[in-house]
Amino acid sequence: MEIQHWSLLGIIGHALLLGCCFLVTVAHFIMEPLRWNRCYQPVDCSPAGHKGVRDALFCTTLATYILPFKLGIPLRIFLLRRHGELSLHFLGVVIALDGLVSLSAWAVVAASCAWLAALHWSPPWYLWLVIFASALACVAAVTVRRAIGLRLLQRLREALALLDNPWRRIGLSAVILLVDVLSYGLRHAMLLLLVTGDFRHIWIGGSIGIIATFAGIVSGLPMGLVGYDATLVALLTLVGVPPEQALLIALINRALNLASAAMLGIPAAMRLGLGSSVGSIIRKFREIAHDRT
């Protein structure tokens, strides 16, 4: 009876922990519409425009898990123009600005996590070599392709001229992004505890989750495929997590992302009139994305 009692408590504890991971994942997906509506929308935007932006972003988040490569980008632009009451020029400026703020926030937090993790964990020399080589590659890319930096600078100037109180908006966007990025660490820490049941490495696991997600972002691949998974499994294995458990953490995280995106994206697509069933919504996503490329 006592063994069954503790087994039941273990099941309940795992279910609660998984539920918390799901809630944190849903909160992450809500952060983007919150950031757009709070930081980038024109002051004269109507309530319908705010709702349109919210639903368009929920739809395109789901589309990134369905459409190949970067076809979600033209879909996002189309939906934001049509339902968010935003012009093409405004979208170009804001998307570039948001990308710059987002990448900066991720880079700062990921670098901080790498430094904090290194205080309590001595990575092998070849890992430091890879990090150093990656940093040099980023510097070289920016130096060689100065046009990218000049284009981003031009977009920043346009954003400062286009938005009212631009620095307040950029600051608020950065704060929301920092909370969002840190939520990845919390989610991965809870997933590590869920899978391994070991409290010893949960904060390092959270730091590794942020580093791996950033690696997936800079890889440029859809959903961070390979970049995220390989980095997460490799780094967790280095701190003593068995490879099969590290892979399970990556798979559960993928499943949480897909479930959250579907839960928010499918009703949003229905509200925008993109279909009445999952199949019709997917077909409409593909049709719009291919027509806009």
Q: What is the pLDDT of residues 35-91, one digit of tens each?
A: 998 888 887 778 888 899 999 999 988 888 877 656 677 888 889 888 888 888 888
178 neighbors 101 (Cβ within 8 angstroms)? no
- 113 Cβ contact list (under 8 Å, min separation 6): 185, 206, 207, 208, 210, 211
Tell me which residue range forms the domain holding 272.
Answer: 47-291
Buried b (16+ CB within 10 A) or exposed e, 8-18: eeeeeeeeeee
- Tell me, yes or no, whether 81 lies in a domain: yes
27 domain residue, yes or no: no
| Range 24-43 average pLDDT | 90
Up-side HSE of residue 232: CA atoms within 13 Å toward CB? 32
Residue with tokens 């990218």: 148
Please tell me the total count of domains within the chain: 1
142, 144, 147, 249 from 136: Cα distances, Å: 10, 12, 18, 30
- In this predicted structure, the answer to whether residue 119 has a pLDDT above a threshold of 70 is no
Q: What percent of the chain clears pLDDT 90, i.e. is strictly above it?
A: 30
CA distance 57 to 30: 9
233-237, 253-257, 277-281: which is most confident: 253-257
Residue 161 pLDDT > 80, yes or no?
no
In a domain, 39, yes or no: no
Whether 106 is covered by a domain: the verdict is yes
Average pLDDT of the chain, as a whole number: 81
pLDDT tier at 2 (50, 70, 90 boundaries)? very low
Residue 57, domain member (yes or no):
yes
Over 70: is that where the pLDDT of 220 sits? no
Which phi and psi angles does 200 have, rounded to 5°? -65, -35
Answer with the residue of higher pLDDT: 97 or 119: 97
Query: Does residue 3 fall inside a structural domain?
Result: no
Q: What is the CA radius of gyration of the chain?
A: 21
In a domain, 1, yes or no: no
* Mean pLDDT, rounded, for 17-42: 92
Residues 6 or more apart in contact with residue 285 via CB below 8 angstroms: 59, 62, 63, 66, 67, 75, 269, 274
In a domain, 22, yes or no: no
Residues shown for the chain: 293
Which H or E element spans position 226?
A: none
Q: Is residue 197 pLDDT above 50, yes or no?
A: yes
The Cα–Cα gap between 141 and 9 comes to: 53
CA dist., res. 291 & res. 95, Å (int): 21
